[in-house]
Chains A and B, each alone.
Chain A
Amino acid sequence: MKDAGKYVWTAIIVALLAHFAFIHAVPRVMMWVAIDRVSSEGARYNAWTFADRVTPLSRTIVRPSPDFAYSACAYDLSDGPVAITATPWDAYWSLSLYADNSDNFFVVDDREARAGAEVTLVRRGATPPDDAARVIESPTTRGIALIRRLAPDLESYNAASQVARDDVCASFGALPA
């Protein structure tokens, strides 16, 4: 019985550690799941995927907007910088970048980039290539790039799917010289 106190204190300390570990883990685990899905379970990094139109059957990401056409790219900077471009669209569009803790660390939209966006994504502190376009530092090695194109009806969604074919998400070294 005299040992009961140390077990209680152990349980309390472990509970506190588990509490904060859980809170910190939630966004990371959710992002890992999202990165896994977008990258086709790790088989397809640094490539855009044009998402099916958002319908009640869409289960990949919570709270999707049915008014947007989404293109997603799970990026991986393990092998160096990644080049990302977004082709312009005649209504609202934006390119946003998310770290693996879910932080939205970069966004550009059509107001700032009427002719489309072109960025070179590098790991924080890494030296960018000499001929890199606008350099953005990612706080984490992996994450998600997302393009939203306003397309509230089927006709505009289909048009967005054509435009999205010109988007680029590729390892910098794999780009044609």
Chain B
Amino acid sequence: MLRRVAAWTAAVLVGVVLGGASAWAALEIGRGNFGERYGAWSHSRATGSTAAGPYTRAIIARDGLLALSAREALYFNLTQDDQGAPLSENCSYELIGRPLNTRWWSVTLYADDSLLAQNEDHAASIDASHVSAGPDGRWRARVSTVRGDAIYWLSSRNARRDFSLTLRVYNPHRDFQASEETLPALTRLSCLGEA
């Protein structure tokens, strides 16, 4: 009798652990293959939507709770550089973009815990109210641990490995089209230890 109770208990416990682990894995995998992709940027129009499926809702809740629906704002996330490598504070990057057809936009750097990197550089974000394009119609921002000679800078100091960038597009104009060409492009410049 006791053996039978132990067997049932073990079966239920194994089921709970398997179910929890598979759900967590599904969210991790879903996080990396989330929604639509525009170059290295990922985006889901279901963010914040009442029509979002349970997996989308769970992924958003983990990574961007209280996000606005696509009617108001679009969110794009970038976790890899132009060579497909995870973003790391050991590397320097250049983010190049053109003015977007939207009322306002910003790019914010988050550490791997989805919070601002623990530094006092006051350079966690760049936004449309402070960034202007050069003569070639593009703006350039450095993503690195030090500003150097960059005009616009996102500090990755203490962001460790697997940090990410979030592009927020508020009140996009009717002709706003997300594409690899219209969204900013991130290029890896160098990494510590590279010749």
Q: How far is the CB of A104 from chain B (nearest CB, A)?
A: 4
Chain B, 106-142, CB within 8 A of any chain A CB: 106, 108, 110, 113-120, 124-125, 127, 129-130
Please choose the segment from B4-12, B80-88, B90-98, B178-186 that sits at the chain A interface, where 4 or more of its residues have CB less than 8 A away: B4-12
CB of B11 within 8 A of CB of A66, answer no
The tally of residues in A whose CB lies under 8 Å from a CB in B reads 53
Across the interface, name the chain A residue whose C-beta is closest to B53. A23
Complex interface bits, B4-36 against A, C-beta within 8 A gives 1, otherwise 0: 100110111011101110111011000000000
Across the interface, name the chain B residue whose C-beta is closest to A25. B58
Q: How far is the CB of B132 from chain A (nearest CB, A)?
A: 14
A115 CB contacts on chain B under 8 angstroms:
none
| Interface majority SS (helix, strand, loop, mixed), chain B | mixed
Interface centre among A3, A15, A31, A103 (most CB of B within 10 A): A15
Across the interface, name the chain A residue whose C-beta is closest to B18. A15
B19 CB contacts on chain A under 8 angstroms:
14-22
- Bound together, the chains give a CA A22 to CA B23 distance in angstroms of 6
- Bound together, the chains give a CA A14 to CA B7 distance in angstroms of 14
Interface centre among A26, A99, A109 (most CB of B within 10 A): A26
- Bound together, the chains give a CA A27 to CA B27 distance in angstroms of 12
Q: How far is the CB of B68 from chain A (nearest CB, A)?
A: 6
Across the interface, name the chain B residue whose C-beta is closest to A65. B108
Asked whether B72 is an interface residue with its Cβ less than 8 Å from the other chain, the reply is yes
Number of A-B contacts (CB under 8 A): 172
CB of B117 within 8 A of CB of A56, answer yes
* Contact count band on B: 35 or more
CB of A62 within 8 A of CB of B64, answer yes
Across the interface, name the chain A residue whose C-beta is closest to B129. A152
CB of B65 within 8 A of CB of A61, answer yes
Please choose the segment from B37-45, B143-151, B166-174, B187-195 that sits at the chain A interface, where 4 or more of its residues have CB less than 8 A away: B166-174
Please choose the segment from A90-98, A120-128, A160-168 that sits at the chain B interface, where 4 or more of its residues have CB less than 8 A away: A90-98
Asked whether A84 is an interface residue with its Cβ less than 8 Å from the other chain, the reply is no
Asked whether B67 is an interface residue with its Cβ less than 8 Å from the other chain, the reply is yes
- Bound together, the chains give a CA A105 to CA B51 distance in angstroms of 10
CB of A15 within 8 A of CB of B16, answer yes
Asked whether A101 is an interface residue with its Cβ less than 8 Å from the other chain, the reply is yes
Q: How far is the CB of B169 from chain A (nearest CB, A)?
A: 12
- Bound together, the chains give a CA A55 to CA B116 distance in angstroms of 7
Across the interface, name the chain B residue whose C-beta is closest to A38. B66
Complex interface bits, B42-85 against A, C-beta within 8 A gives 1, otherwise 0: 00000011101011011011111111110110000000000000
Q: How far is the CB of B84 from chain A (nearest CB, A)?
A: 23
Please choose the segment from A4-12, A41-49, A75-83, A169-177 that sits at the chain B interface, where 4 or more of its residues have CB less than 8 A away: A4-12
- Bound together, the chains give a CA A12 to CA B68 distance in angstroms of 37
- Bound together, the chains give a CA A139 to CA B7 distance in angstroms of 42
Across the interface, name the chain A residue whose C-beta is closest to B106. A67
- Bound together, the chains give a CA A103 to CA B65 distance in angstroms of 9
CB of B22 within 8 A of CB of A19, answer yes
Q: Which residues of B contact A (CB under 8 A)?
A: 4, 7-8, 10-12, 14-16, 18-20, 22-24, 26-27, 48-50, 52, 54-55, 57-58, 60-69, 71-72, 103-104, 106, 108, 110, 113-120, 124-125, 127, 129-130, 166, 168, 170-171
Q: List 14 A-B pairs, Cβ < 8 Å.
A: A10-B15, A11-B18, A19-B26, A27-B57, A30-B61, A31-B65, A55-B116, A59-B115, A62-B65, A63-B63, A65-B108, A92-B103, A92-B170, A96-B68
